[in-house]
Amino acid sequence: MPRYLSLLLLLPLLALVPISSAAQCNGKDTRHLAPEEQIQRAQARLAQEPYRSGNYWIARKEDRSIHLVGTLHLNTSGMDEVAASLAKPLAEMDALYLEATPAELKRFERQLSLSPETTFITEGPTLIDLLPAEDWQLIAAQAKAAGMPSWLAAKMRPWFLAISLGIPHCLKKQKDLRNGLDRRLATMAQDLGVPGFSLEDPIVAIQMLNQGSIEEQIQEMRPHLAMMGSGGDNENIVASMIAAYFEEKVLTFLELQREDFLSKTDLPQDEANAMWDDFFADLIQQRNRNWMPVIEAAEGDHIMVAVGALHLPGKGGLLDLLQAEGYTLERETFLAVKLKPTLPESN
């Protein structure tokens, strides 16, 4: 699994990751440092995508309106202003739909704690035995640098290990890290008396990551081992992601990360592209399709759907799927005052 995607899509799982020592986050937005040829290839692919920018859209059909908000799952500077700007439209909604409500996430965390086999290898050989010696030595060194015992890393399922090693150390003790836009909207909705609902059971995403045997998951992880880099590099990725979010260009960010991935992997380019697309198709596009019947069946003429920003744009995005169902789409102002958010700092 490309570490860029694990960072972007699975930050809500941060509470499940082993904690290392706190450090200040010093990541920088490095998107402008991408080679010109990579930027051009990314832009060429983007030109083929519908609804490639924007974090706030309204879909309308007859008397029904659906407010679609692209969210960021972590807390950062600027999130107060974003939440405040959405208070008025939220107050007029009949319901708020999130990927999962806070109550559902709590139930999910309890479920994971009672089912260690979901995130750990609980039977049979561990990664020490399953990986070539040189690959395991690389992982053990990265685990040590992250403050994680190598024996613990050896027992993690490959996707969970990739997340654990990919998240910057400085984020792991950040106060209120998970108080991103989703949680803020859930709290606001409760205060306003707007009922909140989940679009899915959170275990669905984990089941997608756990598809295939451990050996198959390892095979997918191995090409990325050399790319798992230092915590500072990961800080730059998160800082770039945050900046792209506030510019309402998360799909552009994703395509630049694809280019970086393709430039560093030793896989054939067609195979690497297919691996990237397959992951995106499973964890984003398939879930979007699963959510559509829930959205269509929602009671009330005015609802807000607030989900990770990558679920909105491009082919197979929620905007594209709603248009195919006869909705007209209008982009709304996301945040009137442009901010320059930074990585959150640890206590």
What pLDDT band is residue 234 in, cutting at 50, 70 and 90?
Answer: confident
DSSP H stretches of helix in the chain: 3-9, 36-46, 79-85, 87-91, 102-114, 127-130, 133-145, 150-155, 158-166, 181-192, 203-209, 214-225, 231-246, 250-264, 269-280, 287-297, 318-324
pLDDT surpassing 60 at residue 5 = no
Cα 252 to Cα 258: distance, rounded to the nearest angstrom: 10
Find tokens 């450090």 and name the residue: 23
Sign, CA torsion 251/254/259/265: negative
pLDDT at 336: 62
Using pLDDT thresholds of 50, 70 and 90, give the confidence band for residue 8.
very low
Residue 287 has pLDDT above 80, yes or no: yes
| Highest mean pLDDT of the ranges 32-36, 149-153, 177-181, 320-324 | 320-324
Question: Which residues does 300 contact at the CB level (< 8 Å), separation at least 6?
Answer: 93, 94, 95
Does 230 have pLDDT greater than 70?
no
Least confident of 6-15, 164-173, 198-207, 243-252: 6-15
| pLDDT: which is higher, 78 or 320 | 320
Portion of the chain with pLDDT greater than 90, in percent: 47
Rounded to an integer, the average pLDDT of 9-25 is 44
Between the alpha carbon of residue 130 and those of residues 7, 145, 162, 214, 324, the distances in Å are 25, 22, 16, 9, 45
Q: Is the pLDDT of residue 224 over 90?
A: no
- pLDDT reading at 7 higher than 50: no
Three-state secondary-structure class, residue 251: helix
Query: How are the residues of the chain apportioned to helix, strand and coil, as percentages rounded to the nearest 5?
Result: 55, 10, 35
User: How high is the mean pLDDT of the chain?
Assistant: 84
Cβ neighbours, 10 Å, residue 91: 13
Lowest mean pLDDT: which of 28-42, 245-259, 306-320, 327-341? 327-341
**How many angstroms separate the Cα of 285 from the Cα of each of 133, 271, 280?**
36, 20, 7
Give this prediction's pTM: 0.86
Mean pLDDT on 45-71: 96
pLDDT of residue 343: 53
Q: Shortest CA distance to 308 belongs to which of 1, 13, 3, 2?
A: 13
- Residue % of the chain over a pLDDT of 70: 82
* pLDDT score, position 13: 43
